[in-house]
């Protein structure tokens, strides 16, 4: 009986999701620009026998990126945003204790590449600069392919 209730809940939640998606498509078709869609992209890649897991959530003026290395733990959480008038980037550790800079650099560079506010959750082992570089490279390549980066100025 519990399995049937669980299955029913899953069906109902998927129907609710479809209805929300349909509304968003209808609003987009109206061309009023009032709808702000959320785009979620997940992918996994293997580099040098290390499995990286990624999730990118694109909001209207913000990107959330999660990077997992050989596990699905959240890891440290960083927020980064462009600051004015100097066009620099401010980064703050939100979750995970004292910042160890693993992920903070990624967050800073993502703001520079996208011009958006960025939240980065990073689960890469400390003192692994090559892992961090590989993860950032894969993430930036995906952001470019999705069209989330600013065009380079000439």
Task: Quick: pLDDT tens for 74-121.
Answer: 788 899 999 888 778 988 888 876 656 778 889 999 999 998 999 999
Does the pLDDT at position 18 exceed 50? no
**pLDDT for res 142:** 92
Q: Which residue has the higher pLDDT, 76 or 66?
A: 66
Average pLDDT of 25-35? Answer: 47
Q: What is the pLDDT of residue 11?
A: 47
Query: What's the mean pLDDT when you consider all of the chain?
Result: 77
* Residue-wise DSSP of 4-34: HHHHHHHHHHHHHHHHHHHHHHHHHHHT---
pLDDT of 65 over the 80 cut: yes
Given a contact cutoff of 8 angstroms between Cβ atoms, the answer to whether 80 and 89 are in contact is yes
pLDDT at residue number 3: 58
CA pair distance 76, 87, nearest whole angstrom: 25
Which residues neighbour 117 within 8 Å (Cβ) at sequence distance 6 or greater?
A: 61, 62, 63, 79, 80, 81, 82, 111
Coil, helix or strand at residue 45? strand
pLDDT tens sequence across 125-142: 877 888 889 999 999 999
């Amino acid at each position: 009986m519990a399995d049937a209730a669980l299955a029913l809940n899953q069906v109902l939640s998927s129907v609710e999701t479809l209805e929300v998606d349909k509304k968003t498509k209808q609003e987009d078709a109206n061309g009023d620009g009032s709808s702000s869609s959320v785009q979620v992209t997940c992918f996994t890649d293997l580099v040098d026998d290390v499995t990286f897991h990624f999730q990118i959530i694109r909001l209207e003026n913000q990107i959330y990126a999660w990077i997992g290395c050989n596990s699905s733990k959240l890891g440290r959480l960083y927020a980064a945003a462009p600051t004015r008038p100097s066009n620099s980037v401010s980064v703050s550790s939100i979750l995970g204790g004292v910042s160890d800079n693993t992920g903070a650099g990624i967050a800073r560079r993502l703001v520079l590449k996208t011009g958006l506010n960025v939240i980065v959750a990073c689960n890469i082992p400390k003192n692994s600069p090559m892992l961090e570089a590989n993860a950032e490279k894969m993430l930036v390549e995906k952001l470019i392919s999705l069209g989330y980066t600013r065009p380079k100025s000439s």
